[in-house]
A and B are shown apart, each in its own frame.
Chain A
Amino acid sequence: MSASQTTHSETFRHKGWVKSAHFVITFAFLALLVSGYVILMSHPRLYWGKAGNDLTPALFELPISKNYHHGGWAKAIPFKNLKGSQVSAARTFDIFNENGWGRSTHFLAAWFLIITGLLYLLAGIFSGHFRRDLAPGRGEFSLKMLWRDLVAHFRKQSSAPGKYGLLQKVTYLSVIFFLFPVVILTGFAMSPAIAANYPFLLIIFFGHQSARTIHFFAAVLLLLFLLVHVVMVIRTGFKRNLWAITFGK
C-alpha cells in the first residue's frame, strides 16, 4: 500500500444506525449466500421461462454437487392425451438435498435482511443520508466524470478523504436500489403464496424459472460487489475502516 493512501486525516464518520444496519445486513447476507449455495446444490440447473426441470432443457448447469448430470432416471412415459412430447419419469438417483435447514436458514436470514433493510431505507430517506452522502452532488454526475473516476480507480488513486467518490456512490446506489430489490423480488416471485397474491412478480421476471435464474445472477453480482468492497476496505486502511463501520465514533 502506498503512503499517500494511508495519510487520510479524516475518516468517514458513520451514524449509529448506519453501523447497526451494516452489521446486521452483513451477517444476514453471508447466511443467505451460504444457504443459497446449498439450495442451488440440490438442483444445479437453471432455466429460462415459466417452468423447468430435469426432463426439460436447461439454460446452463453448474458442476457444484453430485446432482450435476446425475442421469438417474427410469424409462420416460409419455402423457397419452397431450399434443406435445411431454413425458413423466421417475428419479432413481439418491440426490444431495440439505434444503431442510438450507431453505429455513435462507428465509430466516431474509427476515433479518428485509426488516433491517426497510428500517435502513426509511432512516436513509428521512435523515437525509441518501441525499447528503450517496446521491451525486449537483454537477458531480456525468458519464465523463464517472469514466475519469473509473480510470483513477484502476490507477489506484483514491478520492478525497471523508467523502465517497463518484464511482463509489454509483456502486452503493446500484447495490441498495437495484441489486437488493431485484434479489428480494425474484425471491418473492418463487414463493407460491406470495406469487398468488402478486402475480405481476411472475410477469415482470418472465416466469418462475426466469425469476430463479435472475435471483442467481443478482446474487453473483452482490457477491462480486462484496469481494471488491472488501478489497477496497483493505487497501484503504483495513483497521481504520473496520473500526469506523463498527465501534468507532
Chain B
Amino acid sequence: MKEKRLISRRRAIFTGLTSAGALLLSGCLKKAPPTYGSILRLGDDLTYLAQRGLLSQRALVMEYQQTDITSFPVTDIGDPANPASTKAYSKEYEALLKTDFKDWALTIEGAVAKPGKYTLDQLQKLGERTQITRHSCEEGWSAIAEWTGVPLAALLKDAGVLASARYVSFYGFDKYAESIDMLDALHPQTILAHRMNGESIPARNGAPLRLRVETQVGYKSVKYVQRIVVAEQFVDPAQDIQAGWSWYNGI
C-alpha cells in the first residue's frame, strides 16, 4: 500500500524517540568529564554516566562490625612530614605535625557564600558520623576501619554552598588532590574523618583530617586535607585524566 499520510504514526514515534535520544545523549555528554580524545576515558565516562543514571545515589555502602576491622596499609605518594620524600614533602605540614596540629585549619573556598577557615573544634561542632567501612584500593586489596568525622554535606551547608556548585576539589598537604561531583559530595557516608579506629588519625593515615568517599575506590579519599574548593565547572585538580587514570571510580 502506498504511503499517503505525510507523517505516519510509526514514523512520528520513531523520529520522536530518536531526537529525544540524541538530546539526552548530548545533554549527558556535556555533563561528562573531558576525554582528551582517549577511547579509554570515553569508556570511563560511559561507566560514570551509566552508574549515575542507573543506580541510586543515596544507597549506603555496607557497614561492618568492630570484629571485621583489619590491618591498614599506607600506600600514598609519600610522607609529607619527611624532607626526604621528594613528591610529598611540605615544610608547613612538618611544622604542624610537630605541634600536634595546634594551628591547623581547613580552608574552604570557591562557590560558597562564606569562604573561610575551620579549626578542628569548629568542624566537630558541625556534626559527627562514625562508620566502619571498607577501603577498596584500585590495586586490588581492601581494608576495613572505623572512621569518625564530619559529614561533608554539613560543612558545605555551613559554608553556604551555592545552588550552582557542581564539583568539590580536595587538596592535601602531600600535593595530592582529587575532585568529586556533588552527588558523591552530598552522600551521607562521605565524611571528613578526624578519627580512625577510635584514635586521632595516625600521621601516615592522613592526619589530622582525611576525606572518605566510600562509594569510590581508595584513591579518591584524599589524605592530609588542607583546602577544599567548590566549583561550578568540572575540575580535575591532580590531572588524573591527562595522567592516564580514570577520574570516576565507582567501579
Binding site for B on A (CB under 8 A): 39-40, 42-43, 45, 50-56, 73, 76-77, 79-84, 86-91, 95, 97, 99-101, 103-105, 107-108, 111, 190-197, 199, 202, 208-209, 212
Contact = CB atoms under 8 A, between A and B. Distances in A.
Contacts of B144: 50-51
Given A90-B79, A199-B62, A193 B141 contact: no
B69 interface: yes
Given A111-B43, A196-B61, A88 B136 contact: no
A90 B74 contact: yes
A56 to B, nearest CB: 5
B251 interface: yes
24 contacts: A42-B139, A51-B68, A53-B137, A53-B141, A55-B71, A55-B143, A79-B196, A79-B198, A81-B199, A82-B197, A88-B204, A89-B71, A89-B74, A90-B74, A90-B204, A99-B138, A105-B40, A105-B43, A107-B251, A108-B39, A108-B43, A192-B61, A192-B136, A209-B142
A50 B69 contact: no
B214 to A, nearest CB: 7
Contacts of B137: 43, 53
Contacts of B243: 100
Given A95-B139, A105-B40, A77 B202 contact: yes
Interface of B: 39-44, 46-47, 51, 55-56, 59-62, 64, 66-75, 79, 134, 136-144, 196-199, 202, 204-205, 214-217, 243-246, 249-251
Contact of A194 (B55, B66, B204): B55
Contact of B71 (A87, A90, A91, A108): A87
B43 A53 contact: no
Given A196-B61, A196-B215, 12 more contacts: A53-B137, A53-B143, A55-B71, A56-B70, A87-B71, A107-B251, A111-B47, A192-B217, A192-B249, A194-B55, A194-B251, A212-B140
Contacts of B55: 193-194, 196-197
Contacts of A56: 70-71
Contacts of B79: 90
Nearest to A203: B62
Question: Which of B56, B59, B68, B199: most chain A Cβ within 10 A?
Answer: B59
Given A51-B70, A81-B199, A212-B140, A196 B246 contact: no
Nearest to A95: B139
Nearest to A54: B73
Contacts of B70: 51-53, 55-56, 86
A241 B240 CA distance: 45
A240 to B, nearest CB: 35
Given A53-B70, A194-B55, A79 B197 contact: yes
Given A107-B43, A111-B47, A209-B142, A50 B71 contact: no
A38 B250 CA distance: 20
A88 B74 contact: yes
A191 B246 CA distance: 14
Return the 7 tightest CB-CB contacts between A and B, nearest first: A193-B250, A108-B43, A43-B140, A81-B198, A55-B71, A53-B141, A104-B40
Contacts of A77: 202, 204
Contacts of B56: 197
B196 to A, nearest CB: 8
Give the residue among B46, B71, B136, B144 with the most A Cβ atoms within 10 A: B71
